[in-house]
Structure 1
């Protein structure tokens, strides 16, 4: 009986793990987009009623590392509006079915292009039959998949922050270097001018 139970459980476990890996590859979508100055970039998701969708974003490069972010429903009603934010998380729970829009705007910037990294979780989840029997093994695997998603997002956040800090440090070092070169050039110019002036002054005194 024990051998039979194991034989029955093993295919179910393999199927559950396979399905979880498929969910891991499809349910969470991660993207990177560059938003030009004085421009906005929008994306669309066709969602069902109560289809929970989580949108997470962060600005990795460009200017002050900020964008405007907003979400609107199929009737163009504004659900969320954030000005000049570097990162954010928005949970969308649709009250009506249809096309939902979320945008990243760089209208405030005149010269700086912004690099925005964002992920969307839940938009590709298939509908669940409420009458279906929930498999405990599948529940555990799904929970594991959600934890892996969270770890991946945290890792991506750390990588993006490190890149932003490195770019800031390199930019600061470059400015310090150019300022030092400018000061050196000014000092050399002043010294040359003083030498020329004193030499010319003594030559005039000698002629007199």
Structure 2
């Protein structure tokens, strides 16, 4: 009986792993002469936005991109970039646009992996002086928060 259940459990494990992998980054194809935009909402000013992309296939493995704030002000842009990893501070509440443009190519489709992360976790204020414990934040909690930020940077770098 256990031999018959082994393929079933293997399939469930495979599906769980594949769902986890898909959740970490998005992949999209951008046709020749096409512009494609993705959007992220920022709920409050001061939040951090992580933006990562890498061209996986097509042409010279390069793409044009730009990032705009809710007022249509260009925050980042690049021409014929192969990959990028950026962290921005959102100074304006609203919808940020992350656009890729493949207008340099007349025939070739590009395949791009990308990830957009908005830090929406509530941040606690650090103690006023080192070693001072505030009523809401302990030294251990502050250390954990800093470690979490460093791990997120390592995760983006590995992607």
| TM-score (norm. length: structure 2) | 0.68
Contact kept, 8 Å, 2:124 with 2:137, in 1: the verdict is: no
1:34 pairs with one of 20, 29, 35: 29
What's the counterpart of residue 137 of structure 2?
A: 134
What's the C-alpha RMSD, in Å, of the aligned pairs? 2.5
What's the counterpart of residue 56 of structure 2?
A: 60
2:38 pairs with one of 36, 39, 43: 43
**Any idea what the Cα deviations from partners look like across 1:55-92, whole Å, max 9, x if unmatched?**
11111111101111101111112222211111112322
How many pairs were matched up?
129
| TM-score (norm. length: structure 1) | 0.54
2:102 pairs with one of 106, 128, 139: 106
Distance 1:150 1:128 in 2: 17
Distance 1:45 1:91 in 2: 14
What's the counterpart of residue 88 of structure 1?
A: 84
Q: How does 1:1-208 map to 2 (within 5 A)?
A: 29-47=24-42, 48-121=44-117, 123-128=118-123, 130=125, 133-156=136-159
**Any idea what the Cα deviations from partners look like across 1:142-181, whole Å, max 9, x if unmatched?**
444444434444443xxxxxxxxxxxxxxxxxxxxxxxxx
Aligned to 2:25, the other structure's residue is in SS state strand
Distance 1:77 1:56 in 2: 20
Distance 1:49 1:29 in 2: 25
Larger radius of gyration: 1
Indicate the structure with greater strand content.
Answer: 2
| Larger RCO (CA under 8 A, 6+ residues apart) | 2
Aligned to 1:93, the other structure's residue is in SS state strand
